[in-house]
A and B are shown apart, each in its own frame.
Chain A
């Protein structure tokens, strides 16, 4: 069963072996409104935990998407580049942004699980 974790910046990460898929949560897509554009890194680029990995834009706002973990980008989701609305429609599934090969397979341990994230979102009010 792939491990699912969340960050305080409303990114999710789903680990399967030594790779992980990353995206933004339902809360994040609601806050942003209609997504109009995503800027994805190149395959082969490295991302660093806590640093900008991608950018997601609505008509009136642009937000950095931070990498929850460090690793090498092995895939990016061209489908959301063509149809950014997928991020709104299915943020945890078809709206994934990128997949990384993890530098540290245990990197997800420090992140919030589903219950902790739900509580965190409830606090946001």
Chain B
């Protein structure tokens, strides 16, 4: 078997050295009743060619986003990742290296993480960022837990325009931690009234919000601080920060974001990349790993994992989080893509996304019966159809167009949202794609 270097001769020699008669002797501590004497009921070993065929056949049954006009967002965005990114992350020294607990053997990983943390802090306008969490939704739940630790208050208020998956994950975690989560109802296109009181640990808002609308949270941040609560700002489309005022400039205390848009493919939902940033005064309450700068025995600059006493391997039941493995390679891909873009590139990429989305909005608004309900947006907005959106999306797929996500997929019980469709356009959408989408939509609605 190609991945197993031991030969039968090796095994015999080694058993002799151990003083065992057979391999079964080495499993003597397993209770007899639990020993499997025969192989489990699964196919036998296969060569690369066979495995490629079998898995390739499954892949071929899917409609890849790049094959058709594609306009789906909803918290995961299709951007063009430069070829260099994937080549660099596949270098064995990055792909197959371990967590950098032995810093002398991992300065590559540690320096890249330091650069990543800096990029995330700069993008979000915050003082400090960690070395990644699993994804935006779990980062949001960790932010709520952190606000609870910092303020010692029992309630989190979630905007109705927060991504429903993020809300659901916060609610699941809260079920078990004892924190109370009060989620407002979704009211796309309408303003929200957020109540803050002495029991509020944090208010969680998103910009651009789940329906694509843009907000300035400066006044809300001030209200939160007056009441002793923290403002948690969520960003699910990180490219928006190339064009839009960042949460740090609005007074956010914690930012929980999804970094998938830079460096990472859609991957049918995972692995993605949780970003987490906050004020320096709260750094000892942050979850996740942190890379810090220091010097070595020769006085040369280097990096180490630091503030480890927050983490599970030292603090055990008093840790800020149970997280261990996070999203290291996805963070590296983000770092490389953001480095390739730089200030000028990310600015232009964001402008491009917005411009194409504006074109799409204007073309869609021309289709009879279709209304764009957003006045403001970045690269995603909500559209009202004259009929329920879910069947329309399925019919569009039959036309060969992936035309957005029906809100009913997230809010099945809310009839008032059934005609709403969430649509995104990135730099990967062409004029031709837009034409095909609007044409198909016109046909489906006729």
Direct touching of A and B (C-beta under 8 Å): yes
Name A residues whose Cβ lies closer than 8 Å to a Cβ of B. Answer: 36-37, 57-62
Option from B284, B314, B315, B318 in Cβ contact (under 8 Å) with A37? B284
Q: A61-B309, A62-B309 are in contact. List 13 more A-B contacts (CB 8 A).
A: A36-B309, A37-B284, A37-B309, A57-B309, A58-B309, A59-B306, A59-B308, A59-B309, A60-B309, A60-B314, A61-B314, A62-B314, A62-B315
Q: Closest residue to A61 on the B side, CB-wise?
A: B314
Within 279-321 of B, Cβ neighbours of A (below 8 Å) are at 284, 306, 308-309, 314-315, 318
Distance between B255 CB and nearest chain A CB, rounded to angstroms: 24
Can you show 17 pairs from A to B with CB atoms below 8 A apart?
A36-B309, A37-B284, A37-B309, A57-B309, A58-B309, A59-B306, A59-B308, A59-B309, A60-B308, A60-B309, A60-B314, A61-B309, A61-B314, A62-B309, A62-B314, A62-B315, A62-B318
Closest 8 CB pairs of A and B: A62-B309, A57-B309, A62-B315, A62-B314, A61-B314, A60-B314, A60-B308, A59-B308
Which chain B positions have C-beta within 8 A of A37?
284, 309
Size of the chain B interface, CB-CB below 8 angstroms: 7
Q: CA–CA, A60 to B103, complex, Å? A: 14
Which chain A positions have C-beta within 8 A of B318?
62
Q: CA–CA, A60 to B314, complex, Å? A: 7
Residue-wise interface mask of B (331-352) relative to A, using a CB-CB cutoff of 8 A (1 in contact, 0 not): 0000000000000000000000
Which chain A positions have C-beta within 8 A of B306?
59
Q: Closest residue to B306 on the A side, CB-wise?
A: A59
Interface of B, secondary structure class, is: helix
Centre residue among A37, A59, A60, A61 by max chain B CB count within 10 A: A59
Distance between A67 CB and nearest chain B CB, rounded to angstroms: 18
Which chain A positions have C-beta within 8 A of B315?
62
Which chain A positions have C-beta within 8 A of B309?
36-37, 57-62
Q: CA–CA, A61 to B308, complex, Å? A: 8
Which chain A positions have C-beta within 8 A of B284?
37
Which chain A positions have C-beta within 8 A of B314?
60-62
Which chain B positions have C-beta within 8 A of A36?
309
Distance between A14 CB and nearest chain B CB, rounded to angstroms: 28
Residue-wise interface mask of B (64-82) relative to A, using a CB-CB cutoff of 8 A (1 in contact, 0 not): 0000000000000000000
Q: CA–CA, A37 to B315, complex, Å? A: 14
Which chain B positions have C-beta within 8 A of A62?
309, 314-315, 318
Q: Closest residue to B310 on the A side, CB-wise?
A: A62
Q: CA–CA, A62 to B320, complex, Å? A: 13
Which chain B positions have C-beta within 8 A of A58?
309
Q: Closest residue to A36 on the B side, CB-wise?
A: B309
Q: CA–CA, A58 to B307, complex, Å? A: 9
Which chain B positions have C-beta within 8 A of A59?
306, 308-309
Within 410-445 of B, Cβ neighbours of A (below 8 Å) are at none
Q: CA–CA, A59 to B318, complex, Å? A: 16
Which chain A positions have C-beta within 8 A of B308?
59-60
Q: CA–CA, A120 to B305, complex, Å? A: 36
Q: CA–CA, A37 to B284, complex, Å? A: 10
Distance between A41 CB and nearest chain B CB, rounded to angstroms: 14
Q: CA–CA, A84 to B306, complex, Å? A: 16
Q: CA–CA, A61 to B316, complex, Å? A: 11
Q: Closest residue to B318 on the A side, CB-wise?
A: A62
Q: Closest residue to A59 on the B side, CB-wise?
A: B308
Q: Closest residue to A62 on the B side, CB-wise?
A: B309
Q: CA–CA, A59 to B284, complex, Å? A: 13
Distance between A54 CB and nearest chain B CB, rounded to angstroms: 14
Q: CA–CA, A61 to B307, complex, Å? A: 10
Q: CA–CA, A87 to B314, complex, Å? A: 21
Q: CA–CA, A57 to B284, complex, Å? A: 12
Which chain B positions have C-beta within 8 A of A61?
309, 314
Q: Closest residue to B305 on the A side, CB-wise?
A: A59
Which chain B positions have C-beta within 8 A of A60?
308-309, 314
Within 379-437 of B, Cβ neighbours of A (below 8 Å) are at none
Distance between B321 CB and nearest chain A CB, rounded to angstroms: 15
Distance between B404 CB and nearest chain A CB, rounded to angstroms: 49
Q: CA–CA, A56 to B208, complex, Å? A: 42
Distance between B198 CB and nearest chain A CB, rounded to angstroms: 19
Q: CA–CA, A61 to B284, complex, Å? A: 14
Q: CA–CA, A59 to B306, complex, Å? A: 7
Q: Closest residue to A57 on the B side, CB-wise?
A: B309
Q: CA–CA, A61 to B318, complex, Å? A: 12
Which chain B positions have C-beta within 8 A of A57?
309
